[in-house]
């Protein structure tokens, strides 16, 4: 009987190895699919652009603000004759929307950042812009006047959010 027990043990041991290999292959495949779907979600986010263009109201003597949606806002509270470019940016889990913003050199810019989830901030190194930390559901505003043309990166400086894709481009014309 010792011989029969040894044969049974070897047979069971032989069946275990292929089963273990199949289970490992299934786990590796499942993890691969999950990683692929996660990176595919980030890659399919649409690039959106907010372009601040003069509205008819801006062409009149009384300057007005322009929002990223193209709606006219109230005249400048400073009373000067410069037009302020007003844009609203949505911040969320590793994204800014829009992630491309176009503005005019020499014209004041007011960017309101609304946080849809997580804990974020907003920074543009080229213009020394850095917002306060924004809790989920909160908002903050940054104001600056771009003094040079070109494309400049804006980003979230919290943790590794920038590396995870939470960045965009400010285009100054």
Backbone phi, then psi, for 10, in 5-degree steps?
A: -70, -40
Confidence at 163, pLDDT banded by 50, 70, 90? very high
At 62 the three-state DSSP class reads coil
Q: Report d(CA 115, CA 93) in Å as an integer.
A: 9
Confidence at 22, pLDDT banded by 50, 70, 90? confident
Summarised one tens digit per residue, pLDDT across range 109-139 is 999 999 999 999 999 999 999 999 999 999 9
- Contact at 8 Å (CB) between 167 and 99? yes
| Structure tokens belonging to residue 94 | 């590793």
For the CA atoms of 105, 108, 138, 71, what is the dihedral angle to 10 degrees?
A: -90
Closest Cα partner for 36 from 48, 44, 46? 44
């Amino acid at each position: 009987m010792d011989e029969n027990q040894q044969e049974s043990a070897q047979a069971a041991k032989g069946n275990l190895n292929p089963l273990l290999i199949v289970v490992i292959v299934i786990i590796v495949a499942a993890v691969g699919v999950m990683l692929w779907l996660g990176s595919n979600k980030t890659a399919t986010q649409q690039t959106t652009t907010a372009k601040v263009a003069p509205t008819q109201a801006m062409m009149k003597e009384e300057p007005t603000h322009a929002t990223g949606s193209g709606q006219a806002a109230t005249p400048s509270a400073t009373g000067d004759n410069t037009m302020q470019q007003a844009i609203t940016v949505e911040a969320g889990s590793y994204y800014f929307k829009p992630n491309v913003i176009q503005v005019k050199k020499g014209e004041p810019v007011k960017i309101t950042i609304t946080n849809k989830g997580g804990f974020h901030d907003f920074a543009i190194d080229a213009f020394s812009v850095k917002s306060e930390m924004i809790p989920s559901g909160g908002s903050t505003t940054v104001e600056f006047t771009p003094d040079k043309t070109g494309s400049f990166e804006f980003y979230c400086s919290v943790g590794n959010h920038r590396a995870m894709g939470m960045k965009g481009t400010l285009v100054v014309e």
